[in-house]
Structure 1
């Protein structure tokens, strides 16, 4: 079941109490940033590596990060992992990392809604 199907089911049942919707999540995102672990390591000036070991660039390229910036400035990270370089696709990695970040944003936004509702009581 995807978010759209679940949303249709909720509306069909007439569940109209205040809640967080997929549209609310999307509307709360003001920025998104994507990078791989290898890009992060390269970006760090004077990056210190464990003595006697150099980074395995091939492996680091298989880990994709997404950082969502929410309207209030809070950041939510998401990750996507790939075990096989032959199967790695940058766009898929970004999509999966974003999906992971969205999953992490849900409880934060539900908590914020609950706080607002408690303040109104």
Structure 2
């Protein structure tokens, strides 16, 4: 088993304290703003090609997933920085 430090789905989900959505009037664009415990926000978006195919629930789900994905990069960087700082060697 690999016990190397890693970011987990549970960690990511536990960072999110609120989510807000906005659909721009007259468009198929949905934006999701996730607020993290430390007050930082990540933004995700979605857009549908045609208004007739627009589904608000799907738009929200995709926008949230895109905003959540950005947290992975932030947390991955933070973990790497912590490992680097704790290591006597540089990478």
Specify the TM-score bucket, using the shorter chain as the normaliser. 0.7 to 0.9
Q: Which residue of 2 aligns with 1:77?
A: 43
Distance in structure 1 (CA, Å) of the matches to 2:2 and 2:37: 26
1:18-48 CA distance string (max 9 Å, x none): 110111110111111111122xxxxxxxxxx
Deviation beyond 6 Å, 4+ runs, structure 1: none
Does residue 95 of structure 1 match 2:44?
Answer: no
Matched residue count: 87
Larger radius of gyration: 1
Q: Higher helix share goes to which structure? A: 1
Task: Give unpaired runs (5+ residues) of structure 1.
Answer: 1-13, 39-56
Please report the TM-score for the alignment, with normalisation by the length of structure 1.
0.67
Distance in structure 1 (CA, Å) of the matches to 2:42 and 2:60: 14
Task: Give unpaired runs (5+ residues) of structure 2.
Answer: none
SS in 1 for 2:39: coil
Deviation at 1:117, TM superposition (A): 2.1
Q: Which residue of 2 aligns with 1:9?
A: none
Deviation at 1:85, TM superposition (A): 1.1
Please report the TM-score for the alignment, with normalisation by the length of structure 2.
0.87
Deviation at 1:70, TM superposition (A): 1.2
